[in-house]
Amino acid sequence: MNQLEKARQTIDQIDEEMASLYERRMDAVKEVLAYKKENGLPVFDETREQAVIDKNSVRIQNPEYQEFYKDFLKKLMNNSKDYQRTLLSQHVIAYAGVQGAFSQIAAARLFPNDQKLNFKNFEEVFKAVVDKRAEWGVIPFENTNSGLVGEVLDALLEYPVYIQEVYDLKVEQCLLGIPGATLKDVEWVYSKDQALMQSRNFLKQLSVQTISYPNTAMAAQYVASQNDKTKAAIGAKENAQLYGLEILASQIEAHTENTTRFLVIGLQPKTSGNRSSVLLTVQHTSGSLAKIIEVIARHQINMESIQSRPIKGRPFEYFFFVEMDGDAAQVQACIEDMKENCESIKSLGTYSLGGQ
């Protein structure tokens, strides 16, 4: 055995001991987290962390190693905090809006027994998942009447998340007003832009002014607070009971088969299901997109849809969202072949389609 082999053997033995010690340390971390949770303490305690680093770094006898050991301890502490946040996020579901929003309704049906956290907008839901404040996020992605939610597509490209599941929720849009109001009283209608679009024919007949709101439930909440007969909101019928409003008209959407597709997002890619999606940008050469489609066809995969979206900060350049049927192995082989004609490609995973 030469010098290199002996050194590697020593390292292997040390690594084996470190693995056992690491497990013991993480078991203790669980106990620390249980205490913090019970007593409402934060995961990160800067004073305690610095004290641990200072106390342990002086135990290193060789001064040549001390700075490297401090760096090792910092990474170990970050690892510990990340694990604690992972544990805290379990069974926590993030959605955008307030109680009564369609996202909240979808989250309640998908995860009836889990804790729900609401955020102001879609991007905050993505950040909550990435920062491990929530295990999953429930996001509206597409509507049969108004199409894709562009800002969600942008966030799927920007944030390191994957689609875990798809859930289709049939949506009935209602016009909600304060008690005593009638359709003739209404002059202003508040709602999410997609809901306003879905109900545009009905609103045109009413000859009202429309104002976009972050989501339907917040619009209902606002109208209830104003106590003004001239103001109404578009939202789910559940919002009438929640906010003390009356349903002035129901099924006001353009098509009664109005369905919103929700995504469940998480940090790890799913590898089982009947649908896969990718986000890609193509090379600026003739026929690049056609070559992508040819690759999909060559792998005998059914392309369900392809959508384009402008790239932020790059005028008149686009990325594409592609949905395909097929198992994970089949799609992965296809993605590998796509790369030759792509500037970038991000797999969003293989997942299942669900519904009401």
What is the per-residue pLDDT for 280?
A: 95
d(CA 137, CA 126): 7
d(CA 125, CA 240): 25
CA quadruple 219, 221, 225, 228: dihedral sign: positive
Sequence-separated (6 or more) residues with CB below 8 Å from residue 251: 172, 173, 174
CB 215 within 8 A of CB 99: no
Instruction: Report residue 97 CA to chain centroid gap.
Output: 14
User: Would you state the structure tokens that stand for residue 223, as one six-digit string?
Assistant: 């109208």
User: Would you state the structure tokens that stand for residue 3, as one six-digit string?
Assistant: 């010098």
Q: Residue 270's CB: how many other CB atoms inside 10 A?
A: 18
Q: In sequence order, what E strands does the chain have?
A: 92-96, 115-119, 136-143, 147-148, 162-170, 174-177, 188-191, 209-212, 231-235, 246-249, 259-266, 275-282, 303-310, 318-325, 342-355
Binned at pLDDT 50, 70 and 90, residue 354 comes out as low
Question: How many residues appear in the chain?
Answer: 356
What is the per-residue pLDDT for 99?
A: 87
Binned at pLDDT 50, 70 and 90, residue 355 comes out as low
The Cα-based distances of 74 to 53, 109, 261, 273, 311 in angstroms read 7, 41, 42, 39, 37
Half-sphere exposure of 194 (CA within 13 A, CB side): 24
Q: Which of 65-69, 80-84, 351-355 has the lowest mean pLDDT?
A: 351-355
User: Would you state the structure tokens that stand for residue 100, as one six-digit string?
Assistant: 């009564």
Facing residues of 308 across strands? Answer: 320
Binned at pLDDT 50, 70 and 90, residue 189 comes out as very high
For range 205-234, the mean pLDDT: 94
* Side chain identity at residue 266, one-letter code: G
pLDDT in tens, 138-164: 999 998 877 889 999 999 999 999 999
> Which pTM value belongs to this model?
0.83
d(CA 177, CA 230): 8
d(CA 173, CA 143): 12
Facing residues of 266 across strands? Answer: 162
pLDDT in tens, 109-119: 999 999 999 99
User: Would you state the structure tokens that stand for residue 82, as one six-digit string?
Assistant: 């990340």
3-state secondary structure of 273: coil
Closest CA to 312 of 163, 194, 151, 128: 151
User: In 21-57, which positions are buried (b, 16+ CB within 10 angstroms) versus exposed (e)?
Assistant: eeeeeeeebeeebeeeeeeeeebeeeeebeebbeeeb
Res. 82: pLDDT tops 90? yes
What is the per-residue pLDDT for 271?
A: 83
